[in-house]
């Protein structure tokens, strides 16, 4: 939590200070409205009595009247402005954090990103980050504004009537301590535990549901749900505990404040008896206390989420404080492909590697043929440098450059390598976005040319929104073949030195595939191409020097 307080404060110091000031103005206007009204009524009442007795009293009714109106208006306006302003501050910050967090996710290396759970990251990017707004709105601005209010009230009462200052100060200090620390002390642990349990429950219920295909038919569904059920009642117990302790704190605070009010009333009225203070001043302080109570009373409600916020904060801090150990610097120049050879030994997903497999790309086009399950995609990943730490540490995969063993698997600059994976990746965005992603500037003419090469130009031309047509879940639905060709079109917008194609024509009909095949050969005359297909006829080349590696087991 401290970590986030610091970061948030450092990032938007000025805005936060102004936010506190606005909140303070709102609070003090409310208190002032009450105390001035109380004073005004008592004063006029007394003047009225005097007048009816025939005593001439000079009393300006209009000054306090306009004061009351001013505070009434001020309270409303400043409350509105304060809420907007502070929300804007935190939303701004969260937007920045979100960008930062996503950046970190992007810089994870292959091993680490294989272990990432996209749902978990999504919850971090949304729910957890949103939970941070409590840190500013609830835990920073509210208590600091109350602190300011307390200081001003103390100074005010010190100058008007010194004797009550002490009483008010004791009341305020104890109430704030109880409201802030009491709440955190008694509820934070429960709230944190609830957040943890909710997270486990979420994971456990996903597991349970994923198993339902096997559990259901065995009649084990209910039995397997028993631990889940126990956890649910555990959650219920925890939540009850949490509610009980938070309402207990609120109860203590309420009782304390109300009894404090009684003592203020008695103290002021006693002093009226003793002629120490005038009647209107006495009522003023009673109303002042009423106003303060209203403000302080809200503290437990503000702080009872502490434990929950802490849970999110801890989780996020873990991501943020990890220095970017993941990123590997890319080489400035990619190695000459002729010198690269990769040894694959006893890789669990590549049966052919049992006796050892060496991949080296010394010709322009190298074809790899293997049926499903022969580890084609794994091979393609290895070629592209996407290997996990275990694969390297167990020597399943070894890279050799000029005969020397390599540790760094980031062999190629992204600009030099194009890897068309077996699965199609369509971003939910426009066609233009899907084609140009990762490229600095592409003209529409270039896009149309690339689309023409994959035979999609006519299809795009007849779409009402053309290149701006939305694709993906919420947009135009694509057939498998169309999606494949969009992915292929990305290729024609680049000139990489090294190309890996994994089942390039998946889902594309034969005649179109042949056309694209020719275009590819033309486009990559000067590149090294590795093609993975399930049958030899999957990719044809007229090159004499094409080599075929058979991944099928003999």
Q: Give the footprint of other proteins on residues 255-274 (CB under 8 A).
A: 255, 258-259, 261-262, 265-266, 269-270, 272-273
Of positions 14, 53, 56, 118, contacts other proteins by CB under 8 A? 118
Per CB under 8 A, which of residues 368..387 are in contact with other proteins?
372-373, 384, 386
Q: Which stretch binds other proteins (CB under 8 A): 183-191, 214-222, 462-470, 525-533?
A: 214-222
| ∠ Cα 266 271 275 (to 5°) | 150
Per CB under 8 A, which of residues 498..537 are in contact with other proteins?
none
> How far lies 321's CA from each of 102, 132, 146, 357, 467, in Å?
14, 16, 32, 41, 41
3-state secondary structure 400-447: EECCEEECCCCCCCCCCEEEECCCCCCCCCEHHHHHHCCCCCCCHHHH
| ∠ Cα 77 83 85 (to 5°) | 95
Compute the least distance from the CB of residue 170 to other proteins, in Å.
19
60 or 404: whose CB is closer to other proteins? 60
Q: What is the CA radius of gyration of the chain?
A: 36
H or E element at residue 533: strand 528-533
Residue 28 and residue 277 in contact, taking contact as beta carbons nearer than 8 Å: no
Of positions 11, 21, 165, 221, contacts other proteins by CB under 8 A? 221
The phi-psi region of residue 277 (left if phi > 0; otherwise alpha if psi is between -120 and 50; otherwise beta) is beta
Compute the least distance from the CB of residue 96 to other proteins, in Å.
7
Contact call for residue 552 and other proteins (CB under 8 A): no
Residue 168 and residue 153 in contact, taking contact as beta carbons nearer than 8 Å: yes
Contact call for residue 102 and other proteins (CB under 8 A): yes
Contact call for residue 284 and other proteins (CB under 8 A): no
Instruction: Determine the size of the site formed for other proteins (CB under 8 A).
Output: 134
Per CB under 8 A, which of residues 314..353 are in contact with other proteins?
348-349, 351
Of positions 16, 24, 75, 175, contacts other proteins by CB under 8 A? 75
Per CB under 8 A, which of residues 193..212 are in contact with other proteins?
198, 201-203, 205-212
103 token code pair: 């950046």
Per CB under 8 A, which of residues 4..63 are in contact with other proteins?
33-34, 36-38, 40-49, 51-52, 59, 61
> How far lies 513's CA from each of 78, 461, 505, 516, in Å?
67, 21, 6, 5
Of positions 324, 339, 408, 425, contacts other proteins by CB under 8 A? 425
Handedness of CA 130, 135, 141, 146 (dihedral sign): positive
120 or 185: whose CB is closer to other proteins? 120
Of positions 419, 492, 505, 539, contacts other proteins by CB under 8 A? 419
Of positions 69, 230, 477, 495, contacts other proteins by CB under 8 A? 69
Compute the least distance from the CB of residue 403 to other proteins, in Å.
28
Q: Which stretch binds other proteins (CB under 8 A): 164-172, 225-233, 451-459, 502-510?
A: 225-233
3-state secondary structure 354-401: HHCEEEECCCCEEEEECCCCCCHHHHHHHHCCCCCHHHHHCCCEEEEE
């Amino acid at each position: 939590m401290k970590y986030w307080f610091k970061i948030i404060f450092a990032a938007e110091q000025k805005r936060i200070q102004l936010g506190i000031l606005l909140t303070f103005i709102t609070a003090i206007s409310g208190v002032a409205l009450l105390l001035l009204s109380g004073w005004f009524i008592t004063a006029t009442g007394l003047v009225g009595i005097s007048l009816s007795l025939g005593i001439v009293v000079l009393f300006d009714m209009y000054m306090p009247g306009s004061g009351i109106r001013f505070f009434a208006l001020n309270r409303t306006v400043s409350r509105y402005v304060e809420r907007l302003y502070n929300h804007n501050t935190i939303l701004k910050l969260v937007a920045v954090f979100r960008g930062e967090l996503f950046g970190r996710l992007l810089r994870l290396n292959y091993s680490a990103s294989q272990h990432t759970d996209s749902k978990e990251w999504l919850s971090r990017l949304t729910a957890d980050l949103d939970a941070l707004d409590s840190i500013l709105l609830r835990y920073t601005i509210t208590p600091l504004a109350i602190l300011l209010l307390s200081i001003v009230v103390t100074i005010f009462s010190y100058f008007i009537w010194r004797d009550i200052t002490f009483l008010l100060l004791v009341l305020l200090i104890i109430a704030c301590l109880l409201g802030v620390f009491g709440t955190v002390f008694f509820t934070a642990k429960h709230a944190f535990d609830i957040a943890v349990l909710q997270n486990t429950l979420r994971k456990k219920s996903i597991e349970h549901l994923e198993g339902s295909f096997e559990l259901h038919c065995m009649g084990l569904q209910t039995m397997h749900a028993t631990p889940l059920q126990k956890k649910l009642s555990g959650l219920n117990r925890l939540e009850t505990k949490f509610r009980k302790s938070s309402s207990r704190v609120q109860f203590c605070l309420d009782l304390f404040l109300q009894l404090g009010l009684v003592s203020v009333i008695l103290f002021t009225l006693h002093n009226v008896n003793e002629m120490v203070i005038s009647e209107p001043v006495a009522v003023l302080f009673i109303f002042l206390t009423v106003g303060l109570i209203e403000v302080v009373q809200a503290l437990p409600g503000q702080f009872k989420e502490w434990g929950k916020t802490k849970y999110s904060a801890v989780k996020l801090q873990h991501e943020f404080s990890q220095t970017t150990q993941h990123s590997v610097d890319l080489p400035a120049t990619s190695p000459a492909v002729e010198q690269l050879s990769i040894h694959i030994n006893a890789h669990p997903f590549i049966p052919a590697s049992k006796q050892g497999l060496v991949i080296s790309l010394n010709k322009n086009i190298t074809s790899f043929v293997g049926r499903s399950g022969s580890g084609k995609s794994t091979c393609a990943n290895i070629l592209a440098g996407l290997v996990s730490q275990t694969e390297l540490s167990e020597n399943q995969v070894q890279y050799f450059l000029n005969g020397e063993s390599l540790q760094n698997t980031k062999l190629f600059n992204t600009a030099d390598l194009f890897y068309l994976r077996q699965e199609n990746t369509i971003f939910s965005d426009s066609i233009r976005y899907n084609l140009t992603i990762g490229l600095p500037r592409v003209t529409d003419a270039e896009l149309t040319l690339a689309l023409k090469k994959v035979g999609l130009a006519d299809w795009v031309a007849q779409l009402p929104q053309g290149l701006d047509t939305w694709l993906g879940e919420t947009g135009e639905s694509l057939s498998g073949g169309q999606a494949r060709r969009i992915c292929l079109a990305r290729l024609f917008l680049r000139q990489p030195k090294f190309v890996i194609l994994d089942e390039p024509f998946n889902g594309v009909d034969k005649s179109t595939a042949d056309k694209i095949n020719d275009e590819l050969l033309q486009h990559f005359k000067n590149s090294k191409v590795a093609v993975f297909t399930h049958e030899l006829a999957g990719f044809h080349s007229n090159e004499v020097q094409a080599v075929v590696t058979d991944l099928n087991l003999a």
